[in-house]
Amino acid sequence: MVATADRMPVLYLSHGAPPLADDPTWTRQLAEWSAGLRRPTAILVVSAHWEEAPLTIGATTTVPLVYDFWGFPEHYYQVRYPAPGAPELAATVRGLLRGGRAPVRDAPDRGLDHGAYVPLVEMFPDADIPVLQISMPSLDPRELFALGRRLAPLRDEGVLIVGSGFFTHNLQVLQSVGDSAGAPPAWSAEFDLWGEQVLGSGDIDALLDFERKAPAARLAHPRIEHFAPLFVSLGAGEASGPPRTAIDGYWFGLAKRSVQLG
């Protein structure tokens, strides 16, 4: 039995677009956050940018990154993050999921997408910790919460489970907010305040039913893929009590709230 104090925490982070690397405040916040964590044996990422059913396991060797964005300056496509593959972690994940009779596929050529590598470049810049990414097989909050529960034993093996999304995500707002420090629109601020309150109280039921319970839910998330990784994190961190906020504030009007469980 692993003592609770020795169990790795679980994170949900708002990962930003590639230009996050140009934001000195946010990059410092991510670096300071990771500096306070025990060094993981490996990192497992569930990103908003990979939906595939059945659940699919990405490359277990170091392969090129997935530059899943368009229209940015060329230097954003030159970023490298050659983290070691994590075949042992992949085998453990397969065992945990197949034990629940969940089908699992492999995508040996699928590298880390920007929801994974953009924050990891800031948090673990040496790229010396094995990283594995898995897909979201569904956007159903309860299914993802159950997935997180099945992955929770990885914490006792020193694995850092990271859900990577964006706490509010409506890209149309980028057209109305002039700069990264601009005031958020009311819907983004209202949703973020609600999220802060229900996370702090540990009201998992409200979070799972956020589309009906949260103010401005459809504006904050016209499509829920950027909120969905939170449910995996909540399931994996269920035994650790309410999450604590590690980063808050806004970036071009979008809430960048990021939390830690454990």
Question: 3-state secondary structure string, 146-157?
Answer: HHHHHHHHHHHH
Using CA atoms, how far apart are residues 195 and 113, in angstroms rounded to an integer?
Answer: 26
CATH architecture entry for 4-261? 3-Layer(aba) Sandwich (3.40)
Instruction: With cut-offs at 50, 70 and 90, classify the pLDDT of residue 95.
Output: very high
Q: What average pLDDT does the segment 246-253 reach?
A: 94
Tell me if 180 sits within 8 A of 23, measured CB to CB: yes
Alpha-carbon dihedral sign for residues 36, 39, 44, 47: positive
Q: Supply the pLDDT for residue 171.
A: 85
Model pTM score: 0.95
Query: What's the pLDDT score for residue 12?
Result: 98
Q: What are phi and psi of 196, to 5 degrees?
A: -60, -45
d(CA 144, CA 234) in angstroms, rounded, equals 9
Is 80 exceeded by the pLDDT of residue 176? no
179 pLDDT band, cuts 50/70/90, is confident
Average pLDDT over the chain, rounded to an integer: 94
3-class SS at 20? helix
What number is the average pLDDT over the span 207-223?
A: 97
Higher pLDDT pick, 54 / 70: 54
pLDDT confidence bin for 86, thresholds 50/70/90: very high
Burial class of residue 212 in the structure, from the number of CB atoms within 10 Å of its CB (0-12 exposed, 13-18 middle, 19+ buried):
exposed
Query: How much is the average pLDDT of 59-80?
Result: 95
Q: What is the pLDDT of residue 4?
A: 64
Residue 20 pLDDT grade (very low, low, confident, very high; cuts 50, 70, 90): confident
Residue 135: what pLDDT? 98
Out of 15-19, 166-170, 195-199, pick the least confident: 15-19
Check pLDDT > 70 for residue 5: no
Over range 9-22, report the average pLDDT: 92
Task: Answer with the residue of higher pLDDT: 98 or 87.
Answer: 87
Model confidence at 1, pLDDT cuts 50, 70, 90, reads very low
